[in-house]
């Protein structure tokens, strides 16, 4: 059957993300690349479809943060039916927010427990057999159960709101499908079927404490590993608080100077441009005003901690202050602090979920969908677990999508991940004649801190397969390593 396939000359490659490291005469690192090898073409094939299909279609970009895509698209589609975020009913807004926080909560839990914790618990040089959630479960079953249960809590809440844990539907143009029923809400408060929201807050707090403790013991590693200056981008509330659902875009440079001053998401086109490199299917967004070289930004937990003035929920705010006591400045440019920042956000989302679960507005069945005057352009920006996510649609007068532009979170981190790879290459691999398994894992550890969701741009996960190659100055392959 494979005979029917048209393939250009096959080059042997493995996995979805790929790193190549090129050395010069002296064995110094010349070039490094983090190649994104997958391309799907959503921007094109969504054209011709009715706009109202977008929130359901595009969430299939990603099975890890489908809610973010669903909601970013929904926010854009709201505008197409003439509804700006402020025009949405209170109930609809709160239900969408609750869905969003549940999603960030589960996604952060997934990343920490299933993907990142093995490196932190066992060290970057641990044998590969150990470096997975099974290893964590064997070593520390209680921790594994907590992690899995935290993710479950988020997933169950998503299911209650959207009908399904993955690729459910809550948002419709101008509102939401449905509200929560009191009995459904109660499942999350009474702890009968699974641990309740208070337990989630408690466990999230424990994870933050775990990280604080880890920090005390591994300060040098956290401070220095893959640390480099960069800009940071995210959204904030008008009062500067961290805002994950509907904020203004703010960016700062590596020293904290404002490079994007709390602008309206709708104006993103004025500020952002994307570069293309021939060696990757993932683009490189940057701030036009700063330029290609320095205008790229990190996004996600680390960036959000850096750009916000404070966090609106008390426990997370306290955790944020402690975090900055250690970092010693207002901007933290150390890749590994992403893990800590992610756990603070996990706590924040747990607190926010509790606030909303106790809010009677989420039970209100009235006024779920609103109508306005149709427009031709819709832009939705949201803070996905991995960072700022932009969906932009243009439709004709008949409701057909004629243009779509997506800038997914991981794309913003493209430069940062390449920078992180370069750091490990320069500091760990440079001048070495043999590459060890541990060195290669460090390349991954650096990338992994960004929790890249290549599903969005490709379809791999945090621990995507990697293949590292060593080239001499003439470009001849002198060493190659895939990890087993």
Partner 1 sequence: MGKHVNITIDGRNILADEGRNLVDVATENGFFIPSLCYFENIDPPLGTCRTCTCKINGKFTPACTEKVREGLAVEVNSAELKDMRKGIVEMMFAEGNHICPSCEKSGNCDLQHMGYELGIAISRFPHLFKNRLIDYGAKRMVMEHNRCIKCLRCVVEVENDDGKKVFSYQNRGNETHVGVDYEEEKKLTRDQAIQAMNICPTGAIIVRGESVGKPFGERKFDEDSIRPDYVKPVKSDNNIDLSNVEKKRVATVSLAGCFGCHMSMLDVDTEILDLVELITFDKSPLTDFKKFTQRCDVGIIEGSVCNEENVETLRTFREQCDLLVAVGECAIWGGLPSLRNTIPLGECLEEAFLNCVTNEQGNTTIPYHKHLPKMLDRIYECREVVKIDYFIPGCPPDAQHIWKAVKNLLWNENYSILYSEFKYD
User: Among residue numbers 199 through 218, which ones bind partner 1 (CB under 8 A)?
Assistant: none
Would you give the binding string for ligand SF4 spanning residues 12-51, x where CB under 6 A is met?
----------------------------------------
Distance CA(75)–CA(54), nearest Å, equals 11
Return the residue of 22, 49, 370, 375 that touches partner 1, per CB under 8 A.
49
Would you give the binding string for partner 1 spanning residues 462-481, x where CB under 8 A is met?
-xxxxx--------------
Query: Which one of partner 1, ligand SF4, none interacts with residue 294, CB within 5 to 8 A by kind?
Result: none
Query: Which one of ligand SF4, partner 1, none interacts with residue 27, CB within 5 to 8 A by kind?
Result: none
Nearer to partner 1, 167 or 375 (CB): 167
- Contact indicator for 126, 445 with CB cutoff of 8 Å: no
Beta carbon of residue 62, minimum distance to ligand SF4 (angstroms, whole number): 8
Would you give the binding string for partner 1 spanning residues 100-119, x where CB under 8 A is met?
----------x---x-----
Q: Torsion angle, CA of 145/359/345/232, rounded to 10 degrees?
A: 150
Beta carbon of residue 35, minimum distance to partner 1 (angstroms, whole number): 5
Per CB under 8 A, which of residues 121..150 are in contact with partner 1? 128-129, 131-134, 137, 141, 144-145, 148-149
- Contact indicator for 54, 46 with CB cutoff of 8 Å: yes
Beta carbon of residue 57, minimum distance to partner 1 (angstroms, whole number): 4
Per CB under 8 A, which of residues 236..295 are in contact with partner 1? 269, 272-281, 283, 285, 292
Per CB under 6 A, which of residues 138..167 are in contact with ligand SF4? 167
Give kind and range of the element (H or E) at residue 29.
strand 29-36
Nearer to ligand SF4, 167 or 294 (CB): 167
Nearer to ligand SF4, 167 or 178 (CB): 167
Size of residue set near ligand SF4 by CB under 6 A: 3
Beta carbon of residue 32, minimum distance to partner 1 (angstroms, whole number): 12
Residue ranges of alpha helices (H) inside 246-385 are 268-271, 301-307, 314-327, 337-357
Would you give the binding string for ligand SF4 spanning residues 45-84, x where CB under 6 A is met?
---------------x--x---------------------
Per CB under 6 A, which of residues 183..202 are in contact with ligand SF4? none
Return the residue of 22, 33, 82, 430 that touches partner 1, per CB under 8 A.
33
* Residue with smallest beta-carbon separation from ligand SF4: 60
DSSP per-residue codes, 142-176:
HHHHHHHHHHHHHHHHHHHHHSSSSS---EETTEE
Nearer to partner 1, 54 or 331 (CB): 54
Cα distances (angstroms) measured from residue 215 to each of 40, 331, 341, 399 = 40, 17, 12, 53
Please list, residue by residue across 451-471, b when 16 or more beta carbons sit within 10 angstroms of its beta carbon and e when fewer do: bbbbbbbbebbbbbebbbbbb
Return the residue of 27, 85, 177, 214 that touches partner 1, per CB under 8 A.
177
Nearer to partner 1, 312 or 436 (CB): 436
Rg (CA), the chain: 22
Per CB under 8 A, which of residues 352..411 are in contact with partner 1? 392, 396, 398-400, 403, 405, 407
Distance CA(189)–CA(264), nearest Å, equals 36
- Contact indicator for 18, 467 with CB cutoff of 8 Å: yes
- Its sign, for the CA torsion 153, 155, 156, 160, is positive
- C-alpha 26 chain-centroid distance: 38
Q: Torsion angle, CA of 377/379/380/384, rounded to 10 degrees?
A: 140
Nearer to ligand SF4, 63 or 465 (CB): 63
Beta carbon of residue 111, minimum distance to ligand SF4 (angstroms, whole number): 18
Distance CA(78)–CA(174), nearest Å, equals 5
Query: Which one of ligand SF4, partner 1, none interacts with residue 164, CB within 5 to 8 A by kind?
Result: partner 1
DSSP per-residue codes, 204-260:
HHHHHHHHHHHHHHSHHHHHHTTB---EEEEEE-TTSBB-SSS-EEEEE-TTS-EEE
Number of Cα atoms under 13 Å in the Cβ half of residue 10? 6
Per CB under 8 A, which of residues 62..91 are in contact with partner 1? 62-64, 66
Distance CA(384)–CA(365), nearest Å, equals 27
Nearer to ligand SF4, 429 or 461 (CB): 461
Nearer to ligand SF4, 71 or 81 (CB): 71
* Residue that has been written with the tokens 């424990």 in this structure: 206
Beta carbon of residue 36, minimum distance to partner 1 (angstroms, whole number): 8
Nearer to ligand SF4, 167 or 202 (CB): 167
Size of residue set near partner 1 by CB under 8 A: 108
Q: What are phi and psi of 29, to 5 degrees?
A: -70, 125
Distance CA(93)–CA(359), nearest Å, equals 12
- Alpha carbon distance, N-terminus to C-terminus of the chain: 31
Query: Which one of ligand SF4, partner 1, none interacts with residue 452, CB within 5 to 8 A by kind?
Result: none
Nearer to ligand SF4, 79 or 458 (CB): 458
CA angle, residues 335, 339, 341, in degrees to nearest 5: 95
- Which residues would be at the binding site for ligand SF4 (CB under 6 A)? 60, 63, 167
């Amino acid at each position: 059957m494979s005979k029917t396939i048209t393939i250009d000359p096959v080059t042997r490659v493995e996995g979805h993300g790929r790193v190549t490291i090129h050395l010069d005469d002296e064995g110094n690192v010349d070039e490094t690349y983090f190649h994104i090898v997958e391309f799907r073409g959503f921007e094109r094939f969504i054209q011709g479809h009715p706009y109202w299909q977008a929130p359901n279609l595009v969430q299939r970009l990603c099975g890890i943060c489908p809610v973010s895509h669903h909601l970013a698209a929904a926010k854009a589609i709201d505008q197409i039916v003439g509804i700006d975020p402020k025009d949405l009913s209170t109930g609809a807004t709160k239900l969408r927010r609750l869905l969003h926080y549940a999603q960030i909560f589960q996604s952060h839990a997934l990343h920490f427990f299933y993907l990142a914790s093995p490196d932190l618990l066992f060290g970057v040089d641990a044998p590969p057999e150990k470096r997975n959630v099974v290893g964590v479960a064997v070593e520390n079953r209680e921790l594994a159960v907590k992690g899995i249960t935290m993710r479950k809590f988020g997933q169950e809440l998503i299911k209650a709101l959207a009908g399904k844990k993955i690729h459910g539907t809550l948002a419709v143009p101008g509102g939401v499908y449905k509200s929560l029923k009191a009995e459904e809400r109660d499942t999350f408060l009474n702890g009968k079927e699974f641990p309740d929201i208070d337990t989630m807050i408690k466990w999230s707090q424990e994870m933050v404490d775990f990280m604080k403790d880890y920090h005390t013991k591994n300060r040098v590693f956290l401070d220095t590993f893959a640390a480099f200056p960069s800009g940071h981008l995210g959204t904030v509330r008008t009062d500067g608080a961290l805002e994950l659902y509907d904020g203004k875009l703010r960016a700062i440079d590596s020293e904290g100077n404002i490079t994007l001053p709390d602008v309206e998401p709708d104006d993103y086109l004025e500020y952002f441009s994307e570069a293309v490199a021939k060696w990757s299917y993932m683009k490189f967004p940057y701030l036009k005003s700063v330029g290609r070289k320095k205008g790229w930004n990190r996004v996600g937990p680390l960036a959000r901690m850096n750009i916000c003035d404070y966090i609106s929920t008390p426990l997370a705010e306290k955790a944020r202050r402690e975090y900055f006591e250690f970092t010693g400045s207002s901007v933290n440019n150390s890749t590994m602090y992403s893990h800590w920042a992610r756990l603070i956000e996990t706590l924040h989302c747990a607190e926010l979920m509790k606030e909303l679960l106790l809010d009677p507005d989420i039970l209100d069945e009235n006024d779920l969908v609103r109508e306005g005057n149709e427009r031709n352009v819709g832009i939705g920006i949201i803070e996905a677990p991995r960072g700022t996510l932009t969906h932009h649609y243009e439709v004709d007068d008949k409701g057909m999508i004629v243009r779509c532009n997506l800038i997914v979170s991981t794309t913003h981190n493209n430069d940062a991940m390449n920078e992180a790879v370069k750091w490990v290459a320069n500091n760990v691999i440079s001048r070495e004649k043999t590459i060890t398994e541990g060195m290669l894992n460090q390349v991954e550890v650096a990338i992994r801190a960004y929790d890249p969701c290549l599903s969005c741009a490709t379809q791999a996960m945090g621990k995507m397969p990697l293949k590292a190659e060593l080239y001499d100055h003439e470009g001849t392959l002198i060493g190659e390593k895939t990890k087993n």
